[in-house]
Structure formats: C-alpha cells, structure tokens
Chains A and B, each alone.
Chain A
Amino acid sequence: MPPSEAIGGRSAPELAGDLLHAWRRGDRSRLARFVIVVLAALALATFATSIVTGAADASLGNVLRWLAGEAAADQRLSARDRIIILDIRLPRAVLGMLVGAALAVSGAVMQGLFRNPLADPGLVGVSSGASLGAVLAIVLGSAALAPLLALFGVYTLPLGAFCGGLATTVLLYRIATRGGETSVATMLLAGIALGALANAVTGVLVFIADDKQLRDLTFWGLGSLAGASWTKIAAAGPIILLALATTPFLARGLNAITFGEAAAFHMGIPVQRLKNIAILSVAAATGASVAVCGGIGFVGIVVPHLLRLVIGPDHRYLLPAAALLGGTMLIFADMLARTIVSPAELPIGIITAFVGAPFFLWILLRGRSHMGL
C-alpha cells in the first residue's frame, strides 16, 4: 500500500479525524494501514541505525565511497570498514529482518489456524525437530556423522536443523491427516508427544556430549545472529521470502477460519488447502530461521499480540504488520546483543526473552477481559 494512498493527500488533523471516526464505527482498516506505513518507516530507520551502530568504529562514508568506485586514502582502514559494514553488520541486519519477519508471521499464522492467541510455530513440531537436528549435528558431528561434516563443513548444523524441522512437521502432518483432512486438534496433541520424544533423544545426546559440545548446545539454544553471512542469507532468504509470499492467500482464509472450519468453508475458503499451505509455510520459514540462528523465542507470540491490540485481528493487515514489526524487533535486539557486553556478545534469545516475557505478562494482566482469558 503506497503511503500516498494511505494518507490520501489530506492534512494530518483531517486524517486523524477520519481514522478516529472509522475506528469508532468499528472499522480499523484505516488505522491498520496507517500503522503499517509507520512500521515500514520504523523498520527502515532501525535497519539504517543498525548498520552504523556497533562495537567498532566504522565509517559508512568510506564504504559508500568505495562502492562508488573511489579510491580510499587509507587502504587498510577502508578494508576494515568494509568488512565491518558489508560483511558483519549488513548481513546481520538483513538476516535479522528476514528471521524476525518469519518468526512473527509464523506465530500469527499459527494463532489464526489454531484459533488461539497462545499458539506458536512450535505446534507444528518444527522447533523440537530443528533442535534435535542441531543437537545431532553438534554431538555426533565428530563421530557417527563425520562424513556429513566433511561434505557440508560448517553448514552441517543449519542443514541438520532444517531437515530435522521439516521431517518432524511432515511426520506430524501425516499423523494428523486422515482421508485428506487435517485435524488441528490431533496435530496439537501429537505435537506434544513428538516434542517429548525429541526431548528424550536430545537428553541422551546431551548426556554423551562432552564439555565443549555442551557449551555449543547451550549457546545454540539461546540463538544468535552472529553467524550471519551472505551464504546463509542466500540459503535461508529465498525459503523465508517464499513462505512470506503466501500471506495474502492465508490472510483471507485465516480471517474466515475464526468462525471455525465449517464456517470458513461456507464462506468459500478451501479449508484443507489453507491448512496445507499454512503448515508448510510456517514449517519452512521457522525451520530456516531456527537453522541459521538457533532458538529465538517470544517474537512469534509477543508481536502478533501487540499488533492485535492496536490494529485488530484482521489478518490482511496483521500479517504484513507482523513481518515489519518482527524484523524491526529482532534487528533492535541484535543491536543490543552486540553492544551491551562488547567486545563479547550476548545470545539474542536472552534479550528477546528478557524483553518479551515481562512484556507478555503485562499485556495479559492489562487486557484480560478483552482477550477472554
């Protein structure tokens, strides 16, 4: 939605009055469009800020000049600036945007599909599967899975995590689908069972892990954008973008499914196809995110909630807004992660948990009646 259309070429007070009037009549679509424009601007600003912020001093000017083809005064300094900005900060910002969007949108889709504000992408089994895949790679990578390590090198871990996530989702899907129809209730219960199984296997692996592997596991579990590289972006990016591209189709369907699957069918939604696409895109987006960044929590729950309070639950606006806000949040959290304890770095999962958990509690306590909880 181009900004001009949202603003309609009118003055600010007129616009505000319009918004308020529509909002009073229960129509939050104008407000939603306005918020999306604001979020887009915020995302851009945060992205730009994260490129010029960091532990080291780096001159953006130098990099821009280099890109424009000019020779630098101090070659070594210029090279250093380039590495910091183009190889460290920029990939992190891009990955942060992608992964934040993926997690937030996946959370919103899951909540819509399960008709429950507390649902999260973990319900399709992708998180426990991805964790298991990662743990397998870490612990057995030097032993039984050594040939894989030789083949994929440093990408064994993300590959393992992604395959684990997808495999678990497929398994869960097969369990929950009978005669061409998927029961989300069965999916929920089977997901709990599969998650427990994955945890048990993980427990065995943790037990046989040595000291180094244990620390690696722990850090992986806390999540980090530290390993961001253009290669990882090239691997995870298309998957995430493809998954995000399904959101317009999903939005209409998820709105209708609020009234139940039967009612959604009556309103013309192909319900099974909706479930298939929703589950697949959530698994792909979340799987790719977890694979390259480890476990990052709370984004999938807090972002959609917060947005619903402001712009309402209409998925046509909620999904794009979630993508923008999720990406912004993650980039911001990453900025904190890499500057707070510089020169070391905090895993980003710690920051999202620290901010997300109390925030979530606050939302719950404030808006209990509105949420019917």
Chain B
Amino acid sequence: MIRVYDISVRLSGRQVLSGVSFDASPGSMTAIVGPNGSGKTTTLKAISGELALSAGRVTINGHDLSRLRPWELALKRGVLPQATVVSFPFTVREIVGLGLSAAAAGTTRPERLADEALEAVDLAGFSGRFYRELSGGEQQRVQLARVLCQISAPVGDGEPRYLLLDEPVSSLDIRHQLTIMRLARQFCEGGGGVIAAMHDLNLTAMFADRMVMMKAGRIRASGAPRDVLTDDAMEVVFGCRMRVSVAPEHDTPFVLPQAASI
C-alpha cells in the first residue's frame, strides 16, 4: 500500500501541493487527473521520492519514504518519466538492460527478462536498433520495458511493487496506448500497484480503479471513475462543461478507446 498523508510541496517559493492525501492499494490502478498545472506530476514526483515534502509524509508498504535509501526504493517502485533524451548511442537492448542492473541481484535469466519485456511492449525485434533513431512513442515503450525489468515482478520479497507512470501514453498512437494500459492492468492483476498521472480521461475511465481529480494543487474529488466523472466535476475542475457518457448532439463521428476490440 502506498499511503499519502496530507503532503504539501513548495517549489521556488510557490505552494504547488497542499494537503494531498490518498491511498493506492496493491492490485489496483490509481489515476491522477486534472488540468495542466494542477499538480499531477508534482504529486507523482513526491510519491517517487524525487521531491522533498514541505509537510506530510508518504509510506510505501509501511516504510516511510524519507527513510529509504535510493537503492531500497528502487526495489519497491519503478518510475516511467514523461520523456527521456539520451545523449549517447545506446541500443534498445542496452537501455532495457540498464533496468536489469537496477533490479535485485540474482534475477533468474536476465537475458530472457529483457526479451520478454520488449515483447510485452510490442517491440520484439527492436533490440538491435539505436534508441535515438526511434520515434517518440517507440522510445517511450522502450523506457517502459526498462522499468518493467527493474521491477521484474508485481510482487517480490513478500511485498507488492509499484509502477509510477507520468503521462505514459501521451505520445503514443491508440493501439499502443491500449497496449501500455493493458500491461499496467496486468501488473495490477499480478498483485502490484500502479499510480498514473493521466491526461486522457477515457483511458482512465477504462482502466483505473480509482480516480483522483486535482486542481491547483489540491484534490477536488476521488473515488471510482463512474463516481468522479460527472458533468459538474468537469466544469469545476477542467473549467469546461461537458456531458459525461452522452453522445454529442451534432452529427460528427467520434472514436472512443472504450469501443476498441482487442
């Protein structure tokens, strides 16, 4: 269980998060949504241990985050950042392999793990390519494969492990968006926990068990997607009145991921 107790974060003198509290249970996916600047990414960074808290605390499986050393933390959670620029000519295989070295020693058959991770993100056969030659979406999937190698299993050493995803699918096309979200879902089904900062409300509704809606550094609503996604919430949080679960009035076509088959 990741527990966030009333955390506040100040950055460059500005109060970016105030009094944020929620729980993320293993086996479930918690999505943080909100408009730009609402504090989604900051919350995620606070949970990952990257940012110092000005108030409150975060515990992961009962351990206080501030007391864990980086390598201990790395065994419990993996973080997928929004975008990564790499300055040296690494191959895809090498990038994924770096995740392995971050993982616990004694992982059985690390070679196989790397290949499986690449297959899972639908990049089998890409291991010989140079990372910098790939498209943004492909690079993002390679990073996910690396993180999966770092975490290696949803549950390990008797504790559930967590994936923290920062807008993981923003740069991907629909098919790969679904692939990634399904992978995250699988991770949950294996006993791990996922916290994702999400831009796309539809994908969130499809895959998340809990939704935390933020605005201006505070939580405005949290609960199951069907409870949180209301017309009022859309107006208050996103500043835009939208009808939830209602077909639009004019005759334009619309495509929803919810309607995807396989």
Which residues from chain A sit less than 8 Å from chain B, CB to CB? 23-28, 115-117, 252, 255-256, 258-260, 262-263, 265-271, 308-309, 312-314, 370-372
B35 within 8 A of A: no
Provide the bound-state CA to CA distance between A294 and B78, in Å.
Answer: 46
B75 within 8 A of A: yes
B48 within 8 A of A: yes
A-B contacts besides A27-B94, A259-B86, A260-B84, 16 pairs, CB < 8 Å: A26-B94, A27-B91, A27-B97, A27-B127, A115-B87, A117-B87, A117-B88, A255-B101, A256-B102, A263-B84, A267-B98, A268-B70, A268-B71, A268-B72, A313-B88, A372-B87
Let me know if A24 and B128 touch, CB within 8 A: yes
Question: What are 10 A-B pairs with beta-carbon distances under 8 A?
Answer: A23-B128, A252-B101, A256-B102, A258-B87, A258-B88, A258-B98, A259-B86, A266-B48, A268-B70, A271-B70
B interface, size bucket: 35 or more
Provide the bound-state CA to CA distance between A372 and B97, in Å.
Answer: 22
Let me know if A26 and B91 touch, CB within 8 A: yes
B contact residues around A115 at 8 Å (CB): 87-88
A310 to chain B: closest CB distance in Å?
A: 11
Given contacts A259-B81, A263-B81, A269-B70, contact A25 B93 (CB under 8 A): yes
B contact residues around A309 at 8 Å (CB): 89
Residue of B74, B129, B130 near A267 (CB, 8 A) is B74
Let me know if B50 and A266 touch, CB within 8 A: yes
B92 within 8 A of A: yes
B contact residues around A312 at 8 Å (CB): 89-91, 94
Given contacts A115-B87, A258-B87, A372-B87, contact A268 B102 (CB under 8 A): yes
B49 within 8 A of A: yes
B contact residues around A268 at 8 Å (CB): 70-75, 102
B99 within 8 A of A: yes
B248 to chain A: closest CB distance in Å?
A: 40
Provide the bound-state CA to CA distance between A262 and B82, in Å.
Answer: 12
Provide the bound-state CA to CA distance between A256 and B70, in Å.
Answer: 13
Q: Nearest A residue to B72 by beta-carbon distance?
A: A268
B contact residues around A370 at 8 Å (CB): 89, 130, 132
Residue of B70, B84, B90 near A265 (CB, 8 A) is B70
Let me know if B128 and A25 touch, CB within 8 A: yes
A contact residues around B87 at 8 Å (CB): 115-117, 258, 372
B213 within 8 A of A: no
B28 to chain A: closest CB distance in Å?
A: 22
